[in-house]
Amino acid sequence: MNGFDDLLNYNPAEGQGQQLTKEEYSAMRQAEREAVFELSDNTALEVAGDGGKFQQYLDVQSTFDRYSAVNALLIMAQKPDATRVADFDTWKGRGGFIKGKSDISILERHNYTKEDGSPGIGYNVKKVFDVSQVDTRRMRTPAPTPTRSERQILAALISKYPLKITGVDDLPDNQGAMTDLDGSILVRKGMEFSDTFRSVAYEMACAEVAADPELSPEQEFSAYSATYMLCKKYGADTKQFSFDNAPSVFDGMDAQEVKGELSQIRDAADAISGRMARQLEKPARSGEAR
């Protein structure tokens, strides 16, 4: 349990039964937001200081790849084994029943108008529940997730890539793939699925994190981390990945700077995964496995 769980689960109808004033309610909501932001800051620093925790964060972010880095940190801090979350009304609308009162607090962005009339962006705390916290016996059975072959996954990875991808017999130092001077990707032929996917995804991730082919160590780490997320999502082997050097990469960064780096990793993986998803969602041609 987090130290501020009682605050986050506070129900104004309980306790002394007093009706909150508008000012009291506003102060309560502000305290709630501050507690959630503090949790995200603390978790970001924990992730930055420990390679194992950093890898755990990447696992959570790869599961919730449509969520922001901040919300992935919050899910990790409160329920790292979560697999699918939704708010109370969503689960209820699907026929689910929430078991117990343990919720997960994340942040939901909203637009508003400031006093001077200019647009502003704010965040509200949103309570969600993992599917493991829901009685699903009366829920409608969701459509099964389509099974994708390794060939389909690789085809989606290279399809619509803006630059040329070419298979070659050999590469220097036995590399799996490398980016040529013109930005095209050369891929060594004859590799297994995981090696091919990992090698090509890394070159693509490098292009996402920096326009300059000469990447800094921090940018190389971001591309490496994004590649890990993509491998986790699409079933490529991740055993050779190690994040023991994570603390040295984040050394000297404050929580906001760490979040910025995590967002860059998330965005690089999302750019590639989003393009892949659009290809995988297309109806399979006649004769192909569905």
Mean pLDDT of 11-37: 76
DSSP 8-state code for residue 68: -
Q: At residue 289, does pLDDT exceed 50?
A: no
d(CA 262, CA 228): 13
Q: What is the pLDDT of residue 122?
A: 85
Mean pLDDT of 233-239: 97
Share of the chain above pLDDT 70, in %: 91
How many DSSP H helices and E strands does the chain contain? Answer: 10, 8
Which pLDDT band holds residue 50 (cuts at 50, 70, 90)? Answer: very high
Q: What is the pLDDT of residue 18?
A: 63
Each domain of the chain, given as residue ranges in start order, spans 5-135, 150-280
Model pTM score: 0.86
Share of the chain above pLDDT 90, in %: 72
Q: What is the pLDDT of residue 20?
A: 81
Instruction: Indicate the SS3 state at residue 65.
Output: coil
Q: Which of 62-66, 138-142, 146-150, 214-218 has the lowest mean pLDDT?
A: 138-142
Q: What is the pLDDT of residue 13?
A: 41
DSSP 8-state code for residue 131: G
* Nearest one of 196, 192, 219, 205 to 273, comparing CA atoms: 205
Phi first, then psi: give them for residue 86, nearest 5 degrees.
-160, 165
Residue type (1 letter), 235: G
Q: Which fold has domain 150-280?
A: Zincin-like (3.30.2010)
Q: At residue 235, does pLDDT exceed 70?
A: yes
